[in-house]
Amino acid sequence: MADLLSLFPAGSTFAEDRTLVIGGCRADNLAEEFGTPVLVVAEHALRARAREYVDTLAARWANSRVVFASKAFPCTAVQRVMVEEGLGLDVAGGGEILTAIKAGIDPGLIVLHGNAKSDEEIAIAVEHGVGLVVVDNSDDVDRLEATVPEGRTQDVLVRIIPGVTADTHAHVLTGHEGSKFGLAPADAAPLINRIEQSTRLRMQGLHVHVGSQILDVEPFAASVEPVARLGEFPIYDLGGGLGARYTWADNPPAISEYLDSLIGAAREHLPAEAQIIIEPGRSMVCESAATIYRVTTVKRGKVTFVAVDGGMGDNLEVALFEQRFEAGIVGRFEGPDHETVTVVGRHCESGDVLVDGVDLSAPAVGDLLAVPATGAYCFTMSNNYNGNRRIPVVFARDGQSRLVVRRETWDDLTARDVD
Ligand SMILES: Cc1ncc(COP(=O)(O)O)c(C=O)c1O
C-alpha cells in the first residue's frame, strides 16, 4: 500500500500506537470530543500554503495579489486565516461577501464573481464597497449603473472566455468556447467600450478562469494571450484552477511550476506595469484537511461495503465529478488483513460512494475511517440530504483543537419552518 500518510495535511504523523495525528491532535481524541463525521483542518498547513502562494507570486511579479476563492471552503474561520495571511477574498455572491466581512476583510480587497448576480447581490457589493466586481454580462452593467450612487465609481473587470479547454472533468471546465461564464472576446469588446463611457463604472481590467482541478500548466499559460488581445488595462485577474493531490496517482504541479508558466505567459503578453491577481481555491485548501468518519456497517459479499456515518451529505465531490479519494482505518493504515472494499455513505443513493475500491485493514464496525484531501468544496456543498446534520469543522494546531463551525443540531433541521 502506498504511503497514505503523505496524503494527509503536512505535519500529520502517527502516534506510538500508529493512530493518525493531525495538527498534533490524535484522530481518536478528535472523534471523541467532536463526534463523527468531523472535518479537521491542520491550521499550520493551511497558513503555510497561503504564504507559499503569496511569496511565490510576489517573487515572480511584484505588483500582484493573491485572493482566495472562498467558494472552495466558505467558512468564516478559513476566510479569516486568509485575511490574517494578507490575502484578498474572491467571493461568488452576496452570502460570501457577508462572511468575508465577518472574517475581517477590508472590502476593498474583495473580488465579486457570479454569472447571474441578483439586484440584491449587486446592492450588497456596492453598499459594502467591494473592491472589484467582475462583470460577466451586460445585465451586470445595467444593474451596477442603476445601483452605484451618483458621484461614486465602482471598479470592474470583465470576464473573458479564453476558448481554452483543459484536461479536467467537464463539470469543472469554465474557459472553453460555449462556457456559461463570461463573454467571448468579440462580445466583450463592445461591453468594454460601454464601461469605458460610463460615469459610474471604472474599467480596470480583464478576468479569465479556465476551470478547476487542472493538473498541467499549459492551459493556464494559454489563457493569457486571448485576454491580452483585448487591449492594455491596469489589472489582469488570471483566475484559479490549479489541481490538488487527492490520491497517490495525482501529481499536481507545484505552485512555483504553475506560476512559472502563468507568469511566463504574462511577461510575454501583458503590460509590465499591470497588476496581476490570481484566485486559487481548491489547491489552497484541499490538502490541509481530512474527514474522520465512524464505520457503521461492514457488509461482506461479492463486494465488501464499508458504510460510514457520512457520505454525500458532507462530500459531494465524488457524485458531482467522480473525484477519487483514498481512505484508511485509523490506527491500522499499515495493519494486517488488507481487503479491497467500497466505502459508501449513509444516504439513499447508490451514487453515495466515498471511495470505490480501496484497501483497508480488517475494517470493522466502530472503527474510525480517515479520508484525506477533503478541504476543498466538501464543506461548500454539504447538505441536509436524508435529514443529515451538516458536520463540524475543527482547527487542529500544535496539539490543540478548536471548534470553528459546530455540527448542526436536530432542531436546526426544522429551524426555517414557518408552518
Ligand atoms: C472565477 C473563479 N475563480 C477561482 C475559482 C477557484 O478555482 P479552484 O478552486 O479550482 O482554484 C473558481 C472556481 O471554479 C472560479 O469560478
The string of pLDDT tens digits covering residues 206-224 is: 999 999 999 999 999 999 9
What b-and-e string marks burial along 270-302, b requiring 16 or more CB atoms within 10 Å of the CB?
A: beeebbbbbbbbbbbbbbbbbbbbbbbebeeee
Nearest residue by C-alpha to atom 13 in ligand 1: 212
CATH number at residue 97: 3.20.20.10
> Same domain, yes or no, for 252 and 136?
yes
Could you say which of 25, 75, 286, 348 is catalytic? 348
Q: Which domain covers residue 210, as residue numbers?
A: 44-285
310-339: burial string, b at 16+ Cβ within 10 Å, e else: bbbbbbbbbbeeebebbbbbbbbbeeeebe
Determine the Cα–Cα distance for residues 17 and 27; give it in Å rounded to an integer: 12
Q: Which of 267, 285, 303 is the last residue of a domain?
A: 285
Q: Active site includes 378? A: no
Take residue 411 and report the three cell numbers written for it.
432542531
Report how far apart, in Å, the C-alpha atoms of 42 and of each of 89, 167, 252, 299, 375 are: 20, 30, 20, 33, 10
Q: Which three cell numbers stand for residue 311?
A: 457520505
Q: Are residues 272 and 143 in the same domain?
A: yes
Note the pLDDT of residue 68: 98
132 bridge partner residues: 111
Atom of ligand 1 nearest to the CA of 282: 9
Of the residues 255, 285, 315, which one is the last residue of a structural domain?
285
pLDDT value, residue 2: 57
pLDDT > 90: what percent of the chain? Answer: 93
Judgement on whether residues 10 and 95 belong to the same structural domain of the protein: no
The answer on 96 and 111 residing in a single domain is yes
**Residues 266 and 300 reside in one and the same domain:** no
Claim to verify: residue 359 and residue 400 sit in the same structural domain: yes
The span from the CA of 244 to the CA of 242, in Å, is: 7
Dist CA 419 CA 417 (whole Å): 6
Give the per-residue pLDDT at 176.
Answer: 81
Chain position carrying cell 466581512: 101
Same domain? 38 vs 90: no
Res 195: pLDDT: 98
Q: How many H helices and E strands in the chain?
A: 12, 20
Task: Tell me how many domains the chain contains.
Answer: 2
The predicted model scores a pTM of 0.96
- Gyration radius from the chain CA atoms: 22
- Amino acid 181: pLDDT: 86
User: Is-contact 105 70, C-beta < 8 A?
Assistant: no
CA distance 346 to 310: 6
What is the model's pLDDT at position 166?
76
Amino acid at 53: Y
- Is 240 close to ligand 1, i.e. is its CB under 6 Å away? yes
* 94-110 confidence digits (pLDDT tens): 999 999 999 999 999 99
Domain co-membership, 230 together with 365: no
Domain-located, residue 357: yes
Using the 3D structure, point to which of 228, 258, 285 is the last residue of a domain. 285
Q: Do both 154 and 200 map to the same domain? A: yes
Residue 358 CA, ligand 1 centroid: distance in Å: 29
237 forms beta bridges with 207, 277
CATH number assigned to the domain comprising residue 318: 2.40.37.10
Residues 302 and 258 in one domain: no
pLDDT at site 174: 78
Q: Tell me: do 184 and 321 sit in the same domain.
A: no
- Distance (angstroms) between ligand 1 centre and the Cα of 197 equals 30
The closest of 86, 80, 93 to 64, measured between CA atoms, is 86
Measured from the Cα of 376, ligand 1's closest atom is 9
- Which stretches of the chain drop beneath a pLDDT of 70? 1-2
- Whether residue 19 contacts residue 341, with contact meaning beta carbons closer than 8 Å, is answered with no
Q: Is residue 419 part of a domain?
A: no
Determine the length of the chain: 419
Pair (281, 141) in one structural domain: yes
Cβ burial, residue 170 (10 Å; 0-12/13-18/19+): exposed
Burial level of 23, CB count in 10 A (0-12/13-18/19+)?
buried
For the chain, how far is it from start to end, CA to CA, in angstroms?
54
Which three cell numbers mark 98? 457577508
